[in-house]
């Protein structure tokens, strides 16, 4: 799979943050899909199927939290990489909710360099060079 065939799903109810993340991910060579709540993320993940390599979730979103959405997606896509992010201290909860492999937590506010580093960390080996 090349980066051109790989998609990153971004789920955040704050449009400004979603746009910043989207631009950064696009600059890294990956396609993006942006949604504004956890339920939309689960639906989009099913649609993206094998092209989905990473999901970046805000922890607190309407309809379904990022943690609940991540758990729902891991049920049918267990190897997808996940980055949970929050402006408050949800790190302990999120670490217990998700398996350690292909998982990271990002505290808001974040730098673009930190976002890039986390993406490189959680992506499967074959995607890191993309």
Nearest to 31 by CA among 40, 22, 39: 22
3-class DSSP state of 86: strand
Return the pLDDT at 65: 87
Q: How many CA atoms lie within 13 A of 47 on its CB side?
A: 12
Q: What is the spatial order of strands in the sheet that 7-11 belongs to?
A: 31-35, 7-11, 52-58, 81-86, 103-107
**Cβ(56)–Cβ(32) under 8 Å?**
no
Question: In the numeric block, which tokens belong to residue 14?
Answer: 């704050």
List the chain pLDDT tens, one digit each, 130 residues.
345 578 999 999 999 999 999 999 999 889 999 999 999 999 999 998 788 999 998 888 888 888 899 889 989 998 899 998 887 755 545 454 555 567 788 888 889 999 999 888 887 554 544 4
- What pLDDT was estimated at residue 129? 46
Residue 89 lies in a domain: yes
State the sign of the Cα–Cα–Cα–Cα dihedral 54, 58, 64, 70.
positive
- CATH number, domain of 99, equals 3.40.50.2300
Query: Domain total for the chain?
Result: 1
Q: Tokens at residue 49, please?
A: 């199927």
Angle at 28 between CA 33 and CA 101, to 5 degrees: 75
129 within a domain of the structure (yes/no): no
Structural domain contains residue 40: yes
* Residue at token pair 């998982």: 103
Give the range of the structural domain holding residue 20, as residue numbers without chain letter: 3-111
Q: Which two tokens stand for residue 128?
A: 């890191």
Residue 15 is assigned to a structural domain of this protein: yes
């Amino acid at each position: 799979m090349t980066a051109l065939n790989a998609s990153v799903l971004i789920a955040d109810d704050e449009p400004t943050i979603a746009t910043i993340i989207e631009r950064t991910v696009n600059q890294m060579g990956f396609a993006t899909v942006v949604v504004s709540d956890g339920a939309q993320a689960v639906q989009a993940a099913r649609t993206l199927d094998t092209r989905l390599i990473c999901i970046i979730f805000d922890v607190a979103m309407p309809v379904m939290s990022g943690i609940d959405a991540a758990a729902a997606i891991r049920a049918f896509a267990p190897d997808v990489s996940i980055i949970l992010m929050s402006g408050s201290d949800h790190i302990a909860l999120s670490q217990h909710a998700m398996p350690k492999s292909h998982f990271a937590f990002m505290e808001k506010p974040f730098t673009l360099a930190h976002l890039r580093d986390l993406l490189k960390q959680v992506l499967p080996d074959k995607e890191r060079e993309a």
